[in-house]
Structure 1
Amino acid sequence: MKIDGRTKHGDSTANNGKPALLYIAWKSMKARCYRPKEARYNRYGGRGIRVCKPWRNDYLTFKLWALGNGFKNGLTLDRLKTNLDYGPDNCQWVTMEINTAKRNVPDRKLSFVQAEEIRASNLTDMELSRKYGINRGGVWRIRNGRSYKKEYAGLV
Structure 2
Amino acid sequence: MSSEFKITCPVCKVERSTSKANYVFHTKKGGTGKCKSCYLTERNNSEQNKRNFVNGKPVKKHPYYHVWRNMIRRCYDPKIHNYKNYGGRGIAICDEWKSSKLFLQWVDSNGEIPAGYELDRRNNNGNYEPSNCRFVPPAVNSQNRRSTKLTPDQVVEIRRLNARGELLMDEAVKKYSVTHKTLLAVIQKRTWKNIKESCQ
Judge conservation of contact 1:21–1:73 (CA < 8 Å) in 2. Answer: no
Question: Superposition pairs for residues 108-127 of structure 1, below 5 Å?
Answer: 112=153
Give the match for residue 41 of structure 1: 83
Are positions 1:65 and 2:106 aligned together? yes
Contact kept in structure 2, 1:55 and 1:62, CA below 8 Å: yes
Q: For CA contacts below 8 A with separation 6 or more, give which structure has more relative contact order.
A: 1
Distance in 1 between the 2:71 and 2:77 partners? 10
Offset at residue 3 of structure 1 (A): 5.5
Structure 1 unaligned runs (5+)?
15-19, 117-140
- Percent identity, aligned pairs only? 32
Q: Contact 2:124/2:144 (CA < 8 Å) preserved in 1? A: no
Aligned mates of 2:125, 2:66 — CA distance in 1: 23
How many residues were matched structurally? 119
**Among candidates 23, 29, 50, match of residue 92 of structure 2:** 50
Residues 55 and 24 of structure 1: is their aligned pair in 2 closer, same or farther, counting only changes over 3 Å?
Answer: same
Higher-Rg member (1/2): 2
User: Which ranges of structure 2 fall in alignment gaps of 5 or more residues?
Assistant: 1-46, 158-171, 178-185, 196-200
Relative to the length of structure 2, the TM-score reads: 0.47
Aligned residue number for residue 92 of structure 1:
134
Measure, in 2, the Cα distance between the counterparts of 1:25 and 1:72.
15
Q: Which runs of 4+ in 1 moved over 6 A?
A: none
With over 3 angstroms needed to count, the CA separation of the structure-2 counterparts of 1:54 and 1:92, relative to structure 1, is same
Q: In the alignment, which residue of structure 2 is the partner of 1:7? A: 52
Output the TM-score relative to the length of structure 1: 0.58
Contact preservation (8 Å) 1:77, 1:94:
yes
- How far apart are 1:43 and its partner, in Å? 0.4
Q: Give the aligned residue type for 1:8.
A: F
Across the aligned residues of Structure 1 and Structure 2, the Cα RMSD in angstroms comes to 3.4
Match of 1:74 in 2: 116
Q: Does 1:29 align with 2:45?
A: no
Q: Distance between the aligned counterparts of 2:118 and 2:102, measured in 1?
A: 18
Q: 1:2 to 1:8 in 2, by over 3 A?
A: farther
Match of 1:136 in 2: none
